[in-house]
Amino acid sequence: MVSIHLGSINSFILDNVTYDIKHLEKFPQTIEYLGNKISIDTIKIGNPTEVIIRDENTEDREYEVFYFDFFSDNSQIPLMMNITGNDGVWIDKNGNKYYIRDYYPEATKKIHPPRYYQTDLTIELFNDLSEEQIIPTKMKINGYSTTKYIDEMVEISLEES
């Protein structure tokens, strides 16, 4: 018999939610996802195109990080992208916050077990095969990750049955 202590479980939840981006309208443009406000602050059209996203960190935010793709009107294939900057908050089991810009890499040593809430992203959308400007018109959220603290002991038998 082996005893295993489970302190937390990290899960990925599939989701398929698509939002329109109105690149000709004023920014920021705000969308709501799982009760949380996500703001597309700016889009600088070019090749690459720069997109800045802010995801508010509320006390009861259901997810830590959401996973997404951008699309243009003329393609069913996601645009190529590179995350060039990010920021976020580490939160421990007791709710204490540690800002990544202030504590990384020491944060992972101090915080046990850590949860990382992504808050700011800078993204480049690009096309290596064309000089055309990249104009994102849709953002599709594919899912999100979340951590649950469970603090349970599980016993597993190693005997053959």
pLDDT tens per residue across span 42-98: 999 999 999 999 998 877 899 999 999 999 987 889 999 999 998 888 887 788 887
Beta strands in the chain (DSSP E): 2-20, 29-33, 36-44, 49-55, 65-71, 80-91, 97-99, 115-126, 138-156
115: Cβ contacts below 8 Å, ≥ 6 apart: 64, 90, 91, 92, 147
Q: What gap in Å lies between CA 119 and CA 155, rounded to an integer?
A: 38
| Contact in structure between 125 and 80 (CB atoms under 8 Å) | yes
Compare 74 and 134 and report the one with higher pLDDT: 134
Query: Order of strands, edge to edge, in the sheet holding 115-126?
Result: 29-33, 36-44, 49-55, 115-126, 80-91, 97-99
Q: State the pLDDT at residue 36.
A: 94
Within 13 Å of residue 54, how many CA atoms lie on the same side as its CB? 9
pLDDT-based confidence at residue 112 (cuts at 50, 70, 90):
low
Q: Could you give the 3-state DSSP secondary structure of residue 152?
A: strand
Q: What gap in Å lies between CA 139 and CA 43, rounded to an integer?
A: 12
Among the listed ranges 48-52, 116-120, 149-153, which one has the minimum average pLDDT value? 149-153
Q: State the pLDDT at residue 58.
A: 75
